[in-house]
Amino acid sequence: MTLDLEMAEIAKVFFQESREGLDVMESGLLSLGATADPENINTIFRAAHSIKGGSATFGFAEVADFTHGVETLLDEMRNGVREVTTEAIQALLQSCDCLREMIAATEAEQPLDQGRIASLKNEINRILSERNGEPLSHAPAPTVPAPIDDAADPGATGWRIVFQPVPISYVCAMSPLDCSPNSSAWVNSPRAPMFPNYRRSMPLIRSLAISHGT
C-alpha cells in the first residue's frame, strides 16, 4: 500500500520502534528459559501488542494479523492460563524472526514470504488449540453473563457508559484516554517508553487525527 507523505514520515518511526520492540521480545523470550517471570512476560506482550496496534493503524494488515496470534499466545501465558513451555518459546522466537522479515519487506514495499508466514501461523494456532499438551475440544464452555434487563427493574439507577477508541490510539501505544488530541497526559503515560520516539511525532499525529476526523 502507498502512504501519503505525512503518514510515511510517521511510519518510519513505527518501523524503527517495531525493530526495537522485537529486540525486547527476543531478549525477554530467551530469558524465559530460566524463569517465567510475570513482569518479563508482560513486557514481551506489550511489545507485541504495540506492533500489532501500530501495523493495523497504518493498514499493514498481514503484519497485524500475524502478530495477533503471537499476542494471543503471550496473553494466555501472562494470565496464567497456559504454561510457559519450550515449544511455545521456540515458536515465539521464530515468530520474532518472521516479524522482523515482514517489517523489513513492508518498509521496502517488497512481497512477503507467504509460505513462512503460513507455516508459523499454523504452528501458533496448533499450540493455541492445545493447553498444556491436551486438546481443548473438551474444555467447558465459557460462562456468558445474563444480559441486563432495564425493564425488569424500572427503579434501578446508574450509568451506562459506551467507550469507542479511535484508531490513532494504537499508534500512540498507550491508553486511549491518554491519546486525546486535546490532552497532554500522554507525556506521563507509563506506556510511553515502549515507543519513546513517538513524542517527536505526536503533534503531527494529533493534526492527522483531527484532519481525518478521528
Per-residue pLDDT, 180:
42
Using one digit for the tens of pLDDT, what is the confidence trace for 148-205? Answer: 555 555 555 655 555 455 444 444 444 444 444 443 333 333 344 444 454 444 444 4
Hey, what's the cell of 153? 427493574
Would the pLDDT of 33 be above 90?
Answer: no
Out of 8-17, 29-38, 107-116, 117-126, which region has the weakest mean confidence (pLDDT)? 29-38
pLDDT in the model for residue 8 = 81
When the pLDDT of each residue in the chain is averaged and rounded to a whole number, the result is 75
Structure confidence at residue 78 (pLDDT): 93
Least reliable range by pLDDT among 60-64, 109-113, 135-139, 209-213: 209-213
Q: How far apart are the first and last CA of the chain?
A: 21
Q: Which three cell numbers stand for residue 103?
A: 517489517
pLDDT score of 151: 54
Say which residue the cell 524465559 belongs to: 32
Residue-level pLDDT at 90: 96
Q: Model confidence at 7, in pLDDT bands (50, 70, 90)? A: confident
20 exposure class (CB count in 10 Å sphere: 0-12, 13-18, 19+): middle
Write the pLDDT tens digit of every residue in 75-97. Answer: 999 999 999 999 999 999 999 99
pLDDT surpassing 70 at residue 212: no
Helix 5-31 to helix 86-107 angle, to the nearest 10 degrees? 160
Tell me what pLDDT residue 132 has.
61
Distance between CA atoms of 24 and 90, rounded to whole angstroms?
16
- Cα(213)–Cα(204) distance, integer angstroms: 14
Q: Are 64 and 52 within 8 A, CB to CB?
A: yes
Give the least confident one: 40-54, 107-121, 178-192, 198-212: 178-192
Report the run of H or E that residue 135 belongs to, with start and end. strand 134-135
CA 128 to chain CA centroid, Å, is 17
Sole residue written with cell 515502549:
194
pLDDT at 36: 77
Q: Which CATH fold topology does 5-135 show?
A: Four Helix Bundle (Hemerythrin (Met), subunit A) (1.20.120)
CA count, 13 A, side-chain hemisphere, 33:
9
Per-domain residue ranges for the chain?
5-135, 157-211
Q: What is the 8-class DSSP label of residue 195?
A: S
> What is the Cα–Cα distance from 61 to 59, expressed in whole angstroms?
5
Beta bridge partners of 130: 135
- Beta partners for 131? 134
Instruction: Report the C-alpha dihedral over residues 144, 150, 155, 157, rounded to 10 degrees.
Output: 70
Rounded to whole angstroms, the Cα distance separating 99 from 95 reads: 6
Say what the pTM is: 0.62
Per-residue pLDDT, 9: 86
pLDDT at 143 over 80: no
